[in-house]
Structure 1
Amino acid sequence: MSTSMPARPLRLVAVTLAVVAAVGGCGDLHAQDSPPGAAAPAPSGASSPGSPGASPYVEPGAGDGAPHYDENNAYRREGDMAPAHAKDAEREAARVRPVVERLWEQRKWDPAAVRTALLRLGYEEERVTQDGKRLGGTLTVTTMSPRWEGDGYVTPEGTRIAVRVHDDACVSGFVQKSNAEVRVNGPYPETGCFEPPYGH
């Protein structure tokens, strides 16, 4: 009879007990540098009861789930339009859109050409005091917004337009080398009819 037979089951039992002790461990788990008796860290939001996978700091309906999303992006939220004013703005957009599309097809997207074409529709340029008080007119034509590229800001070739139809209703758009767009929107808190850039 071989004497190695009983040693193998004993070794297997010893290894099994060692694994159970390592995995099951006695007592509380502590962070490596925590002194004995220190409180265990709070469970993460992903495992807290009642909100599986959600951070306790996320606002309901937040676009990207970041804390304070709504507060941080309030400047990018356009105002509400009265239904009748929205219809008026849609009618003006229908007048502006073919002009902008024609300019794009003709490869004319500089502010002077765009301004001249839109003034022919009967709009008057909006006049505003330095403190933002409107004096009259409804049309604003300006260069594209600068954007960060490489080591600094670059202003792309093209033109932005806005027509203030009512205090709460605008037609806005742009024409540039790659594309053109005309849409209806409510005014923004800080930039009027123009959509503000990101990175406020």
Structure 2
Amino acid sequence: MPKWNAGRTVTAVALGLVALGCARPGAGDGDAATLPSTVSQPSSVPPASVPTDGAGDQAPPPGDGAPHQAENNGWKQRHELTAEEQRAGDALAARIRPALTGLRASGDFAPASTRRVLLALGLATEDVQVNEMRTPPGTVFAVTFPEAGCVIGDVRPERVLVEVTGAAAEFGCLEPFTH
């Protein structure tokens, strides 16, 4: 017959109590706290109503933008070009692109050089706007053409960008730098 070992018995009993949960703080001492349950219970709170856009239609989910982001950015809306304006802009862009590509190839990204190249194309001084880029080194430009069109873009070490777009009522061709 095996000999009785008091140390093993005490250890076994303590482990048994822990395993059964009897050693849980507050168990059986009148504590009314309950453990979290994974079983969901019906809620007495009604579900949230679906937001609408004011016309009774379901509004899009909020996402990353502010609730009035479209309204807040309305000043950035550009004139939609007619087919005739688009053709005029495309023709102007076709004249501008090679001149600025040559400037980039020479490694010259200075605003004064960009202005000089654009004016050498016969563009009116009042139709040309040129600003220095903050980073990377380079120049942003805009050329206005009738009625409300713009050829905008930039010259920087890695590219020449030339785009045709409409002017914005608030600022014209080049969006102001705000930060």
Identity in percent: 33
Q: 1:189 & 1:168 partners in 2: Cα distance?
A: 9
Conserved 8 A contact 1:124-1:139: yes
Give, as a single letter, the amino acid of the residue that structure 1 aligns with 2:161.
Answer: E
Task: Report whether the alignment pairs 1:170 with 2:127.
Answer: no
Structure 2 CA distance, aligned partners of 1:58 and 1:97?
A: 40
1:106 alignment counterpart: 106
Deviation at 1:160, TM superposition (A): 1.3
* Aligned mates of 1:24, 1:164 — CA distance in 2: 64
Kindly provide the amino acid, as one letter, of the partner of residue 184 in structure 1.
V
Other structure's SS at 2:164 match: strand
Q: Secondary structure at the match of 1:115?
A: helix
Displacement after TM superposition at 1:177 (Å) = 2.3
Q: Which residue of the partner structure matches residue 43 of structure 2?
A: 29
Unaligned runs of 5+ in 2: 1-37, 53-57
For 2:40 and 2:141, locate their aligned partners in 1 and report how far apart those are by CA, in whole Å: 68
Query: Does the aligned pair in 1 maintain the 2:85–2:147 contact within 8 Å?
Result: no
Indicate the SS of the match to 2:125.
coil
User: Structure 1 residue 102: deviation in Å?
Assistant: 1.2
**Normalized against structure 1, the TM-score is what?**
0.57
What amino acid is the match of 1:186? G
Distance in 2, Cα, partners of 1:89 & 1:104: 22
* 1:146-195 Cα distance to aligned partner (Å, 9 max, x none): 5xxxxxxxx54211111111131111111122322001000123221114
Larger radius of gyration: 2
Give the length in aligned residue pairs.
138
Match of 1:142 in 2: 131
Residue equivalent to 1:182: 162
Q: Which residues in structure 2 correspond to 1:68-87 (within 5 Å)?
A: 68-87=68-87
After superposition, the CA RMSD in angstroms is 3.3
TM-score by length of 2: 0.63
Misfit runs of 4+, over 6 Å: none
1:1-200 → structure 2 map (5 Å cutoff): 23=39, 29=43, 40=45, 42-44=46-48, 57-58=59-60, 66-126=66-126, 138-144=127-133, 146=134, 156-196=136-176
How many angstroms apart in 2 are the aligned matches of 1:24 and 1:114?
A: 67
What is residue 34 of structure 2 aligned with on the other side?
none
